[in-house]
Amino acid sequence: MSTIDTTHNNHDAHHGQGLFSHHDDHLHPEPTSFWTKYVFSYDHKVIAKQFLIFGLFWGFVGALMSVMIRWCLAMPGQPFPLIGNLLFPSSNGVIPPDFYNALFTMHGTIMIFFALTPIIIGFLGNYSIPLMIGARDMLFPWLNMASFWVSVASGALLMYSIFVPMGPSAVGWTSYPTLAHSQWSNGPGHSLWLVSLFLAGTASIMGAVNYISTIIRLRAPGMRWRDLPLTLWGLFLTSILNALFLPVLTAGLLLLLIDREFGTTFFLAASISEAGTQGDPILYQHLFWIFGHPEVYIVILPAWGLVSDFLSFFSRKPAFGYKATAISMTAISILSAVVYGHHMFTTGLSPLLTSAFTTLTLLISIPSGIFFLNWLGTLWRGSIHFTVPMLFAMGMVFTFGLGGLTGLHLAAVSTNLLLHNTYFVVGHFHLTMAASSLLASYGAIYFYFPKMYGRMMNTRLGQIHFWASFLPIVYIFMMMMVAGYAGMHRRIYNPYEYNYLQHLLRLNQYIGIAVAIAFSAQLVFVYNYFVSRKKGSVSGPNPWYLGTLEWTIPSPAPYYNFDKIPTVYNGPHEFSHPKVTDRDFIRQDEYIEGISHKNG
């Protein structure tokens, strides 16, 4: 630490205040008090860990809720084991139907906004961006800290909403009116939900402003866009989508909140609104999905980027078609803005629109196909190292491939009309968005653990965690698609009240068993995480033998990351170069005649 040059120049008149104040001019001494070091920290690495803990906590809550949902479907009318009597004394431990609705609503909301977003964007973004571009922190550290604490406020509100009279929101994570209006969802639960998501959106926008500006401005000298690890391409595109489309959601939520609280009629149809003039419930769906479709790419883009890097890192080969991958990801981000209508085929859109949305959606499969083939091209004839992060990356390739293929059936309007609102959809989006981002998130944690704590996570436990999660997850979501194909609707408490679904009980019980296994496997992870922090084998600075900048500094990463800001001469994936014989990777910051680009 003492080697860092703490001298600095002129104007600090407005330093430390204001939205866009930044560390432009000087290094702060490392904070020493508990509050400034661990709680209200400006350090991107601390904020990353805060987001990680936050996301893991909520992920646990969300996962427990999915277990409860699946219990209802596997054991209808049976009391929930262990904690059932504690939670539902009035029904002798049986999960009541209205609470079931609250469960899937909260599960979806929590998993997307409070588990995956904090982990794959809040944690991964904060941790990797400055380290991978050779910077000492984010461009706007204060904004970064604020983003985390607004997330905490939003989480606290959501938690509180679970305990208010008449219970938490129970209208689905999509919060469609008219059901979401106060006449049909009484009580403060859903209004609190709206405010909570409003705050979560605000926090994400703050983060996005930071990520975008940081990646544009703080790349180390010499780091061209094509020297950027693909992880950062993913995070960069995600942030742009966040900055542009979250405000659409927040505007929609705001209007809905005003409808509920002040009696306006934006989303009330003519026959229901008092004055007989027309609001429009479908308008809400437009606003929601203008945001909602980009949102699925928001959680998957960082995962794509990360996996693209991991496949190269652990095959010891340059990423196949780096440029094509980056361009494809960009193309998808742009296309993601104009396909949202595929969520609304059953609302009576005009045939012209439905065919347009079908075509545009199917167009996405071209860039997706390109980078997917690039992934396979990267693996092809690589010297594959099955490290734990690599296992998760390859698992993600599998689940995403499966989920992506089944998306075609939903994109085509003719099949969509039959599959809409069935478990086929649930299986599909869990494979693409949920399972894929989840697996990538775990990959990121195993990967960066040594840089965070200076120790490795236990490999054997990691392998157990992987297989005991991956196999059940694939089974669970495949079988959900089967159930949906057989006609099982989503969001129903007891499917077996319908004769034609009774034969699905067995299938749903098998899914339940798989869920129990997958859930238990996460305990292995938690154990591994906490024990390895203290007892894992010491990792050294570069345990994975990589050339990206974060592996050129000690582990755990020191307070100001880089003693001296590196200069970049090489791309992120320079592996197995025939001219370098003493090792199989080239650091981004070393100059090798005939290989490196001249730094301009």
* Chain residues in the site for another protein (CB under 8 A): 5, 7-11, 13-14, 18-20, 22-27, 134-136, 139-140, 143, 205, 208-210, 212-213, 216-221, 223, 243-248, 250-252, 254-255, 258-259, 262-266, 273-280, 283, 286-287, 290, 562, 565
Handedness of CA 129, 133, 139, 141 (dihedral sign): positive
Can you point out the beta strands (E) in 334-444?
none
**In sequence order, what are the beta bridge partners of 408?**
none
Handedness of CA 291, 295, 296, 300 (dihedral sign): positive
Which of the choices Cu ion, another protein, ligand HEM, none does residue 275 contact, using the CB cut-off of 5 to 8 A by kind? another protein
Which of the choices another protein, Cu ion, ligand HEM, none does residue 278 contact, using the CB cut-off of 5 to 8 A by kind? another protein
Which of the choices Cu ion, ligand HEM, another protein, none does residue 490 contact, using the CB cut-off of 5 to 8 A by kind? ligand HEM
Per residue in 245-272, is it b (16+ CB within 10 Å) or e — as a string? bbebbbebbebbbebbeeeebbbbeeeb
Nearer to another protein, 266 or 446 (CB): 266
Helix (H, G, I), strand (E, B) or coil at 538: strand
Nearer to another protein, 254 or 363 (CB): 254
Q: Which residue has the tokens 């930044």?
A: 22
DSSP 433: I
Quote the tokens at residue 274: 């008092």
CB of 284 to another protein, least distance (A): 9
Site string for ligand HEM, 98-127 (x = CB under 6 A): ------xx-xx--xx---x-----------
Helix (H, G, I), strand (E, B) or coil at 7: coil
Asked if 540 and 560 count as a contact pair (C-beta separation under 8 A), the reply is no
Site string for ligand HEM, 31-70 (x = CB under 6 A): --------------------------------x--x--xx
Q: How many residues bind Cu ion (CB under 5 A)?
A: 1
Per residue in 339-364, is it b (16+ CB within 10 Å) or e — as a string? bbbbbbbeeebeeeebeebbebbebb
420 near ligand HEM, rule: CB under 6 A? no
Quote the tokens at residue 237: 């595109």
Nearer to ligand HEM, 68 or 397 (CB): 68
Which of the choices another protein, Cu ion, ligand HEM, none does residue 293 contact, using the CB cut-off of 5 to 8 A by kind? Cu ion
> Could you give the CA distance from residue 347 to residue 101 in angstroms, rounded to a whole number?
22
Nearest to 576 by CA among 268, 364, 313, 227: 313
Site string for ligand HEM, 166-185 (x = CB under 6 A): ------xxx-----------
> Could you give the CA distance from residue 328 to residue 313 in angstroms, rounded to a whole number?
20
Interface segment toward Cu ion; rule CB under 5 A; list 57-65, 290-298, 399-407, 522-530: 290-298
524 near ligand HEM, rule: CB under 6 A? no
281 near ligand HEM, rule: CB under 6 A? no
Region at 486 (left for phi over 0; alpha for psi -120 to 50; beta for the rest): alpha
Which of the choices ligand HEM, Cu ion, another protein, none does residue 29 contact, using the CB cut-off of 5 to 8 A by kind? none
Positions that interact with ligand HEM (CB under 6 A): 63, 66, 69-70, 104-105, 107-108, 111-112, 116, 172-174, 426, 430, 433-434, 438, 473, 476, 490-491, 515, 518
Positions that interact with Cu ion (CB under 5 A): 293
